[in-house]
Structures are given as C-alpha cells and as structure tokens.
Amino acid sequence: MEQEQDEDEVMSEVHLGCPPHFTGPFISRFTFSLPSLETRDGNNCCSSHIEVNSSPKEVTFDEDGDLVLDRRKNVTEKCESYEFSIRHNVTSSLKNVGLQVWKASLVLTDFVLHKCLTSSEFNGVTAIELGAGTGLVGIALARSARSVYITDKGIGILDNCLENVNLCSRLLSLQENRLHVRELDWNESWPPLLGSNDLFQTRLKYTWSPLEIEEAERATVLLAADVIYSDDLTDLFFAILDKLMSRGSEKVLYLALEKRYNFSLDELDVVANGYSHFRRFLKDESDCGSPDSASFPCFVGKLVDLQEIPQYIREYERGKDVEIWKVTYCQKQQN
C-alpha cells in the first residue's frame, strides 16, 4: 500500500482546467457540435465564428443510424451542441492512466464522429475498443454500431468505464445493450477465459460469455487510443492484435497516439518514447511482398490526414503531435 502511495502521479493536459489539488473522481463534460440543417453540406460546423446552441441536447438517430436533425430550430443556427459526460481522475499512477482522459482519445472521438456523419462505414458494425480507459471512443461509436465491446484491464478502470457508459447512455439515449464493458488482459491468451464461480463477483460481470466471444471474433472494427507509450506495452498490444485480427472476420484498426518527447541519454537527443518501436511493426502495402513472400503475416499502416478531420470536441488543443493510423492485417492466403 505504501509503495502505491509513493508511486509518481501523472496528469493529462486535458485536465488542466480541473480544480487544482482535486484527488477524487471528477466529471468533465466534453461538448461537440453537429451540423444543423443549413450547414450539413460542406461547411465546417466547428469553426469559431459559427454560432452554437448553449445548452446540450439529446442526440437522436433513425433506424439506419443516420442523424435526425431538429427542424423546428431557426435555420440561421449553424450548429447544435451536445456533450459526453465522462468521469475520470485528475491524476493517477502510471499503471492507472486509464482513469484519465488523454488527447489521443479525443482525436479518435473526433474521427469517429466525422465518420458517422459523413459515411456509412460504421453503420451496424461490431467493434472492439482496446485499452479503452474511460470508454469515450467506444461510447461515441455506439450510436452507429450494432455492438461495441469496451475493453481494458483492472476492476477500478472497468468500474469507471461502466459508470461512463451509464452516464452517457442516459444523456445520449444510447441503448445500453449495444455497449459491453469487458476485461481483456493483453498478457493473456485470446479467446479470454470464460467466467466461473471461482471469480469474485465484482470481476465476474466483466467476463466474456461464449456468445460474446463469437460476436467479438466477427468484429470488423478495432479502436485504440493512447496505448503507445512504452516498448513493452507496444509489444503486448501487437501480440493481442495479431490474435484478434487473425481470427474471424477481416478487421481494420484505427489507432490514435500522441508522440511524447523526452531527452534520451542513449541518443543524446530529444526522442518520442515508444514511437519508433511502434513504427517497426508497420509496413507499407507494397512491403508485404508477393503471395510467396516470407513477410506474412504483417500489419499494414496508413497515416490518416487529420487536416480532413474537423475538431468536433471543443475542450482540447489538438496540436501537432497526435496521429491516427489505419492498420490492416495481411496474411498469406491458404491454397
């Protein structure tokens, strides 16, 4: 217990506006704008000169997952405002960073909102969020998706994530049966162990059922934000990714990260910890070689142009050190 208390605390810059010296859970409201009827085509509703409603409203979608806009509002309004209420810690130990909201998760949430507004790619999908932390990204996807598995490790993080699912389900009128908070330890095998009576009751509710494992293997979308910050963690991440992407349906991963720079005594230079190690796992599509190549299986990575993704969430500065990668899995076809 003393060792845990002596462990260094870290704080996400997203929380700089929170009350100073606040130690308990805190609820932040992340507001975002969606285009009104007049600006649905072509205009960026997130520009600072465009008016928005001051009070958040309920988000509603039709049975096809399309946004239903309130036509009773004055058409001179350019955007309408909504919010995610997310409970988080203001600071945490390194092993509990999933209790905080990090910039990469907000960038990936912007990406998900944009995809849901401008394409049908996420309509009706089954998705898994890996290392979900507060669950924000998976919650944002839940309106369009058929089913979202929000996964992480540790009872404290999972309990907090479930609380956020409950908070946002009420606020955004989400169907809670679309969201499943489940434990997924990257140190363990996939498929995960099934629930048993030997588990503590608090952990039992986060275990997988056989039907859920089958559904997860049919997932076509994987999401992860801010899981790249140490080489050991990156190795574990790609190991579980290999297990997931090599089974069941063909999957695509959208991964958001923030490059964090520190001075390296080994290189006598400022470097982004973990980033170069992460890049070694990715190949260009041409690098996967011919069907006879020995490079299978491999992960193919393509950098997403963030200039094409508007900033919907208002409460953060995107900066230049965040990236989103689209990652696919290339494996040798059986004859």
**For residue 1, is pLDDT > 50?**
no
25 in Cβ contact with 75 (< 8 Å)? no
**Residues sharing a CB contact under 8 Å with residue 228, sequence separation 6 or more, in sequence order:** 234, 237, 255, 257, 274, 275, 278
Proportion of the chain above pLDDT 70, given as a percent: 75
Task: Choose from 18-27, 41-50, 147-156, 283-292 the range with maximum mean pLDDT.
Answer: 147-156
**For residue 256, is pLDDT > 90?**
yes
Q: Write the pLDDT tens digit of every residue in 168-218.
A: 987 777 776 899 999 999 999 899 877 655 556 667 899 999 999 999 999
Burial class of residue 266 (count of CB atoms within 10 Å of its CB; 0-12, 13-18, 19+): exposed
Give the pLDDT confidence score for residue 281 in this predicted structure.
Answer: 95
The whole-angstrom separation of Cα 287 and Cα 297 is: 11
234 in Cβ contact with 274 (< 8 Å)? yes
16 in Cβ contact with 59 (< 8 Å)? no
Give the pLDDT confidence score for residue 72 in this predicted structure.
Answer: 39
**For residue 22, is pLDDT > 90?**
no
Give the pLDDT confidence score for residue 267 in this predicted structure.
Answer: 57
- Which among 44, 140, 36 has a CA at the least distance from the CA of 80? 36
Reported confidence tier of residue 48, pLDDT bands at 50, 70, 90: very low
**For residue 49, is pLDDT > 60?**
no
- Which among 316, 183, 304 has a CA at the least distance from the CA of 240? 183
Q: Which helix (H) or strand (E) holds 6?
A: helix 2-6
Tokens of 303: 């950098």
- Which among 274, 307, 256 has a CA at the least distance from the CA of 106? 256
Tokens of 98: 């999933």
Q: How much is the CA Rg of the chain, to the nearest whole Å?
A: 20
The structure tokens 């669950």 sit at 135
The alpha carbon of residue 2 and the mean position of all alpha carbons in its chain are separated, in whole angstroms, by: 33
The whole-angstrom separation of Cα 314 and Cα 32 is: 6
**For residue 16, is pLDDT > 50?**
yes
The whole-angstrom separation of Cα 205 and Cα 162 is: 11
Question: Could you tell me which residue, 295 or 49, shows the higher pLDDT?
Answer: 295
pTM value is 0.83
Proportion of the chain above pLDDT 90, given as a percent: 55
Q: Write the pLDDT tens digit of every residue in 130-182.
A: 999 999 999 999 989 999 999 999 999 999 999 999 999 877 777 768 999 99
The whole-angstrom separation of Cα 126 and Cα 213 is: 12
Q: Which amino acid is at 102?
A: W
Give the pLDDT confidence score for residue 50 in this predicted structure.
Answer: 28
Task: Choose from 76-80, 107-111, 190-194, 317-321 the range with maximum mean pLDDT.
Answer: 107-111
The alpha carbon of residue 227 and the mean position of all alpha carbons in its chain are separated, in whole angstroms, by: 10
Q: Specify the 3-state DSSP secondary structure of 105.
A: helix
- Which among 109, 323, 105 has a CA at the least distance from the CA of 225? 105
Give the pLDDT confidence score for residue 119 in this predicted structure.
Answer: 95
Give the pLDDT confidence score for residue 332 in this predicted structure.
Answer: 63
User: What is the overall mean pLDDT for the chain?
Assistant: 82
